[in-house]
């Protein structure tokens, strides 16, 4: 076995999520950043590569150049996979090119700029046989794994109600009117696609709910709102949901919930108990019982399901956070790539990360929510 | 001045809310229970009166008897008002009779059995000139007063989003199939009316949201659910809302949210800040700002709005609870009755309790939510 | 049975704790305020009585007058007991006079002005045969009862460590230099006695720890501090403790812990589990286990010990607060007085309130802590 | 600039803290693990190195071998510093050897096995001119930096009281009687030294209190306890403190506080406000004011002191945890080493990590606490 070699697309100076991906990839010592096309501006790409201690000849001016040149490098030197951390409109092109040239791909969400790209990418992934992971990072938290395992084991009985919310407040003002880079592209339809809060955080909420419960949303009734004057994309969306087993639900994603940080949270009520998880206190899973005291399940404490244990690095009481959850996506993806390199089967415990199917699902969610928001019909079938 | 004299309708042995009303009425030493018709069962009424130290001749076999006989007593002995604590279908008749015979009325919610009674009662109250209060007790909490005052003063800017939830879990099973008295009548359309969770707790949520924000709901889109097999009335209802100023919202009331106690909570997001209040920790009001630390406003601490101060009895750090909030409704009602007796104007600070208009509003809310739940049209105009 | 008749000593206009006692006595409808000597200023006493709707002839200019005149009233009219809510230096005289004249007594804490009075009062209570209760009100909370019952049942194993703290911040400045009435007498040795924070809140902490665990403090090592310049009595005291079973502990009482309200809290660690209770969230008892999830025990939820149930008035999720806990002391005292009047045995469940022995214990605690603070010897035997 | 090269002493298979150090060193991409002597068992060292993708010739059988052989490597290949993650009795020897051979050192705490070694190490560090860091990792949290900066700026006024606690429950049973490796050495005087809980966690508490407040403990009064039968070292110690400015305090470290995880917390009360920080919710700093609402300061939110900002990696609402705080120690150490390599001055903002002086202080704390625990004199001068 050896360290895997990663090439990065995007994430140059001034970006946010690129640094997160690099830290998440680095933390477990299984992945080495060996090259990158960090910016569409070659100068910025070079400078970024230098800061990251990369040799000049592995810092490229474009993802096309990187993919094609790396392909020519000897097998013991060239990158194994690319990490795509660009704005949404630059997800599909590098993913396609990489997959078609024999590289695995790990990609930020939402998966593509539009739904057509999503369907196309699914076909490319399947025909290429390469491994594709999508960083719906919140599913990497140990207590999310615990919740999923509990529900699968029937611990709370049949699921009846799901409330998932992702409130943020950072777009309460017309921030895109300033020089804030994050706000600029995330509210710009030419770079984000048709979803604003829906794409940026709504897909996380949708993915979290379906991942934990194992239930698909079948119908939705969306109130898609643009609250801040002048904004082009939705910034506050509230949706009534129906799930395949008949459970009902509420999904809310908002970027104008003044004063909220990243308050992603989910409540799942079953016949026998309710679960509550809040991303901002991620090492706690609250189990509310019908007739006995509420239990506080904590990362690393007592008898957890193996899925929770397998995604924990440090002992109880030492908080693991966002980066460690993110790193779990990378770690599992890396284990699958490693297994592929060694011609082995991966331990099913680690064959657990969001795939191209989750990506398609997320894009469908955005499109159907926007469509539901436009119709006067109550229930829109997803 | 003298203590006010209260007669009670309902609240005999085995009841729940009657005891709450008596404690709430007693706590400030302004009101004395002098008579009652505690049960439709005269024997139970007698026994209840005895336990409450009432003389036998002031314990009646029916509310009709009570109202008519008390009316005949000398002015310095007869009751001043009645408190109605019966199931919903026995709210209107004693209220009507009392009002028409010169007694003030304080009544549990929802106000009436159906919407027609609500409209009729409004007319009776107005023509009688008597004082009528409805015990939407949650509006009695000091931090609810503080939130209302903050919004009125513009502290959070224009309100943009309102999320109000009342999750309970106590009806997660078919409890009405046992001998649980509370479950029996609250799930029975012949005693509760057409609303289950909507009437029992949804009206509280609606009243709280409109009270704090001063905004009326104008449109709703309701998913009215009956989750537990065999149940006759809704036990889980989720509603998208639009308010008169354009704010959007979510209202959820549920009695099948397993493990929840009385988790009534509200989040209100304005242009400048967000507010959060949870009934189970009622002495705390969280103010989330756009660009500065979240503030924890506490009952009795620092410079609160006078409305909050006026509804606080004890110093900071000594929790006031449900009974004290309930007592604030009684206290304000009593101050208005006292002022009437003395021919004075009441201090506007205390002329603050839910009225017959709130009662009509609550009944409309139930009816419109049920209607919205039945239509395939998305937005139902309230 | 009939309502008990209460006479009050102290608690006139401008006082704080008198109103608390009246609300606590009123809430359950078992006790009626019939007379009072509300102030050493006869004019203020009269006015206070008028506000409380008392007839003029039952409002007295002094406690001596009240006790002696009430004694002359017919048995069906005269008060049954007195409630003493004066500053500490006026506890003993009315208690003594009342007991010696056949009245029961309920008294605020600390019990007396000094230790000699405490020992004397114990003898008087015993010789009089009257019932005496001390309002260490925090022991009235349902979750305190639950904690006590759990420890008695061995649920947490042998107790090993006890940490009890009562932090307040209200005396962080030289408040006694202003016209704040509460600060004035509580920091004045001529009215409070030799203990400042020790008497006002330290005794509550000591009483709570010994009550819940059933263990006596045997040794202490006190650091008694006066922090605010010019203050005469201790305002920040920290004590290492040893308990009779060998457990060790820490007791801290402070009135200069800036920003704290009434943060009384206790943590008790046994061989098998730990308990945590915080007065400001009194309906929650946290049980921390060695090898399984922490449990959140809540007032009214699930299978509690009967002692907790018996001190709860309303259903789960509706917070009971300070007044209800205080009222539990009055309720139990009243049940004992009622039983005495009827010549019956009281249900042992309700024969549960702080007695003259607790009062002596509290005074000893103050005296020994002050003595320990003055010696250079580490362990002081209590 | 280039990545720094790290050699590790200890941290082989089965260890705990070694993995933590490796993750902390890796996360920022500034440090590369290039060699190691992972175990005193050469076979285990080899296997550990292989798992870490190290070439065989950089995995050594002993720290002596590593230091001496690495010294012989060319400058562009050999390690820059060693990381010592062994039990306490193997801190001093590799530190000494490395320093004397021109390597910088980062070392786990407590710094040495005994006080003599600590004093000796201080001299060696000073004479060597090498950089030495001690991983009191809790001081790496952004909110700890914020608290320190607030106090330095006078935001809470003069500090009056400090309460610092480190409760754990994991040694509530005689765990060292099982094959639990961590329990075995941490309770063994031949490997841990004279302090049990004092060395393992008490030093963290001491360091945190002195770091945040900038105040030295001058006197202590310790109750040093061994609670679990058969145990050789203290597992529950409570200490009264006096600080150089006259502030008083309490320090408690316990490993028998059943059910506690790593509940390190500190409360600091000044003339104007109080601060509260809890390691298990590390991104929150609570500021309690005298006369206005409590503020919740959060990592990444609003206007923080530059020291807090400089130690934050990701935006508000995405929790940073234990590893990120730990990584801040490594990051700052690395920046100082980098500056040294480049002959530059380091930005004072990053010249902020625990040094050999903190290590000496910690060892003195252990020794004086043990001594204080043995004397009958109350105050022991530190």
- Smallest Cβ–Cβ distance between A238 and the set B227, B240, B257 belongs to B240
Tell me which long-range contacts C179-183 makes (C-beta under 8 A, separation of at least 24). Answer: C181/C14, C181/C15, C182/C16
Give the residue from chain A lying closest to D2, CA to CA: A53
Per-residue H/E/C for B320-332: CCHHHHHHHHHHH
Roughly how many angstroms between the first and final C-alpha of chain A, as a whole number? 44
Does the pLDDT at position D230 exceed 80? yes
Cβ contacts of D168 on chain A, cutoff 8 Å: 317
Encoded tokens for C80: 């049954």
Q: Which of D130, D159, D189 is the last residue of a domain?
A: D130
pTM of the complete model: 0.97
Cβ of A297 and C293 within 8 Å? yes
Give the residue from chain C lying closest to B32, CA to CA: C29
Read off the pLDDT band of B14 (50, 70, 90).
confident
In a shared domain, residues D190 and D108: no
Over residues B183-215, the pLDDT tens digits come to 999 999 999 999 999 999 999 999 999 999 999
In a shared domain, residues C305 and C369: yes
In a shared domain, residues B185 and B91: no
- Smallest Cβ–Cβ distance between D295 and the set B291, B295, B301 belongs to B295
- CB of D297 within 8 Å of a chain B CB? The answer is yes
In a domain, A331, yes or no: no
Mean of per-residue pLDDT scores for chain D? 97
In a domain, B237, yes or no: yes
- CB of A373 within 8 Å of a chain D CB? The answer is no
In a domain, A328, yes or no: no
CB distance B321 to C318 below 8 Å: yes
Cβ contacts of D301 on chain B, cutoff 8 Å: 293
- Span D258-286, average pLDDT: 98
Cβ of B319 and C322 within 8 Å? yes
Encoded tokens for B350: 């205390």
In a shared domain, residues B12 and B106: yes
What is the C-alpha separation between B213 and B171, in angstroms, rounded? 30
> What integer pLDDT is reported at residue A315 of this predicted model?
86
Cβ contacts of A313 on chain D, cutoff 8 Å: 19, 23, 323
- CB of C278 within 8 Å of a chain D CB? The answer is no
Which chains reach chain B with 3 or more Cβ–Cβ distances below 8 angstroms? A, C, D
Cβ contacts of D289 on chain C, cutoff 8 Å: 258-259
Instruction: State the smallest CA–CA distance between residue B294 and chain D in angstroms.
Output: 5
In a shared domain, residues A272 and A371: yes
Q: Which of D87, D111, D130 is the last residue of a domain?
A: D130
CB distance C227 to C168 below 8 Å: no
The series of mean pLDDT values per 10 residues for chain C, 382 residues long, is 95 88 97 96 94 96 97 97 97 98 98 98 98 98 98 98 98 95 93 97 98 98 98 98 98 98 98 98 97 95 94 93 98 97 95 98 98 97 92
Read off the pLDDT band of B103 (50, 70, 90).
very high
Per-residue H/E/C for B86-141: CCHHHCHHHHHHHHHCCCEEEECCCCCCCHHHHHHHHHHHHHHCCCEEECCHHHHC
Read off the pLDDT band of D181 (50, 70, 90).
confident
In a domain, B28, yes or no: yes
- CB of A295 within 8 Å of a chain C CB? The answer is yes
In a domain, A18, yes or no: yes
In a domain, B91, yes or no: yes
C-alpha torsion sign, points B44, B48, B50, B51:
positive
Strand partners, A18: none
Chain D contacts in chain C segment 172-211 (CB below 8 A): 172-173
- Smallest Cβ–Cβ distance between B259 and the set A252, A274, A376 belongs to A274
Identify the DSSP state of A281.
Answer: S
Over residues D96-129, the pLDDT tens digits come to 999 999 999 999 999 999 999 999 999 999 999 9
Q: What is the ipTM of this complex?
A: 0.96
Domain count for chain B, please give it: 2
- CB of A291 within 8 Å of a chain B CB? The answer is no
What lies within 8 Å, CB to CB, of A344 at 6+ separation is none
Cβ of C262 and B320 within 8 Å? no
CA of B47: how far to CAs of A101, C2, C3, D159, in Å?
Answer: 88, 14, 16, 62
Cβ contacts of D236 on chain C, cutoff 8 Å: 160-161, 248
Does the pLDDT at position B166 exceed 90? yes
Structural domain including D15 reads 4-130
The series of mean pLDDT values per 10 residues for chain A, 382 residues long, is 95 88 97 96 94 96 97 97 97 98 98 98 98 98 98 98 98 95 93 97 98 98 98 98 98 98 98 98 97 95 94 93 98 97 95 98 98 97 92
CB distance B166 to B276 below 8 Å: no
In a shared domain, residues B307 and B223: yes
Q: Are strands A380-381 and A217-225 parallel, antiparallel or unpaired?
A: antiparallel
What is the C-alpha separation between C330 and C381, in angstroms, rounded? 34
Cβ of A223 and B248 within 8 Å? yes
Cβ contacts of C265 on chain D, cutoff 8 Å: none
The residue among C117, C91, C116 whose CA lies nearest residue C106 is C91
In a shared domain, residues C61 and C169: no
What is the C-alpha separation between A111 and D5, in angstroms, rounded? 37
CATH code for position C65 = 3.40.50.720
Cβ of A223 and B240 within 8 Å? yes
In a shared domain, residues D153 and D243: yes
Instruction: State the smallest CA–CA distance between residue A211 and chain C in angstroms.
Output: 24
Instruction: State the smallest CA–CA distance between residue C288 and chain A in angstroms.
Output: 9
In a shared domain, residues C39 and C168: no
In a shared domain, residues D122 and D257: no
What is the C-alpha separation between C326 and C25, in angstroms, rounded? 8
In a shared domain, residues D24 and D148: no
> What integer pLDDT is reported at residue B302 of this predicted model?
86
- Span D191-210, average pLDDT: 97
- CB of D316 within 8 Å of a chain B CB? The answer is no
Q: Which of A74, A102, A130 is the last residue of a domain?
A: A130
> What integer pLDDT is reported at residue C140 of this predicted model?
98
Give the residue from chain D lying closest to A33, CA to CA: D29
CATH code for position A163 = 3.30.360.10
Please confirm whether the linkage preceding B110 is cis (ω < 30° from 0). Answer: yes
Cβ contacts of A322 on chain D, cutoff 8 Å: 314, 318-320
Cβ contacts of C302 on chain A, cutoff 8 Å: 289, 291-293
In a domain, B26, yes or no: yes
> What integer pLDDT is reported at residue A299 of this predicted model?
95
- Smallest Cβ–Cβ distance between B250 and the set A252, A290, A294 belongs to A252
Interface test with D, best of B284, B286, B294, B297 (most D CBs within 10 A): B294
Give the residue from chain D lying closest to C174, CA to CA: D271
- Smallest Cβ–Cβ distance between D296 and the set B293, B301, B303 belongs to B293
- Span B267-277, average pLDDT: 98
- CB of C291 within 8 Å of a chain D CB? The answer is no
In a domain, C84, yes or no: yes
Does the pLDDT at position B351 exceed 80? yes
> What integer pLDDT is reported at residue C15 of this predicted model?
78
Q: Give the angle subtended at the CA of B243 by the CAs of B242 and B247, to the nearest 5°.
A: 80
In a shared domain, residues D126 and D174: no
> What integer pLDDT is reported at residue A48 of this predicted model?
96
What is the C-alpha separation between A368 and A379, in angstroms, rounded? 11
């Amino acid at each position: 076995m050896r360290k895997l070699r990663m090439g990065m697309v995007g994430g140059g100076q001034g970006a946010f999520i690129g640094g997160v991906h690099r830290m998440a990839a680095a933390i477990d010592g299984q992945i080495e950043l060996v090259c990158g096309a960090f910016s569409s501006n070659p100068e910025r790409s070079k400078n970024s590569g230098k800061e990251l201690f990369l040799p000049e000849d592995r810092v490229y001016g474009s993802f096309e150049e990187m993919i094609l040149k790396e392909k020519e490098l000897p097998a013991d030197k060239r990158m194994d996979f690319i990490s795509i951390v660009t704005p949404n409109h630059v997800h599909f092109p590098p993913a396609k090119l990489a997959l078609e040239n024999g590289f695995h791909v790990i990609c930020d969400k939402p998966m593509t700029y539009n739904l057509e790209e999503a369907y196309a990418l699914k076909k490319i992934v399947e025909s290429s046989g390469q491994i594709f992971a999508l960083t719906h990072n919140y599913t990497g938290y140990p207590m999310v794994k615990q919740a999923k395992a509990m529900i699968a084991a029937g611990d709370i009985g049949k699921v009846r109600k799901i409330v998932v919310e992702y409130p943020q407040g950072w777009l309460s003002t017309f921030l895109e009117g300033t020089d804030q880079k994050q706000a600029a592209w995330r509210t710009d339809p030419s770079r984000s696609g048709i979803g604003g809060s829906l794409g940026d955080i709504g897909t996380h909420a949708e993915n979290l709910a379906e991942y934990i419960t194992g239930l698909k949303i079948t119908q939705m009734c969306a109130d898609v709102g643009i609250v801040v004057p002048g904004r082009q994309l939705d910034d506050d969306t509230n949706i009534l949901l129906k799930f395949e087993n008949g459970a009902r639900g509420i999904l809310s994603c908002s970027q104008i919930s003044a004063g909220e940080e990243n308050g992603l949270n989910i409540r799942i009520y079953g016949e026998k108990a309710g679960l509550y998880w809040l991303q901002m206190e991620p090492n706690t899973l609250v189990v509310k019982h019908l007739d006995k005291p509420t239990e506080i399940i904590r990362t690393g404490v007592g008898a957890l399901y193996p899925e929770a244990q397998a995604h924990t690095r440090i002992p109880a009481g030492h908080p693991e956070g966002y980066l460690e959850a993110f790193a779990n996506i990378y770690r599992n993806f890396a284990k699958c790539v490693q297994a592929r390199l060694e011609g082995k089967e991966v331990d099913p415990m680690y064959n657990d990360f969001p795939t191209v199917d989750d990506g398609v699902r997320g894009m469908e969610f955005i499109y159907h929510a926007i469509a539901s928001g436009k119709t006067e019909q109550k229930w829109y079938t997803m």
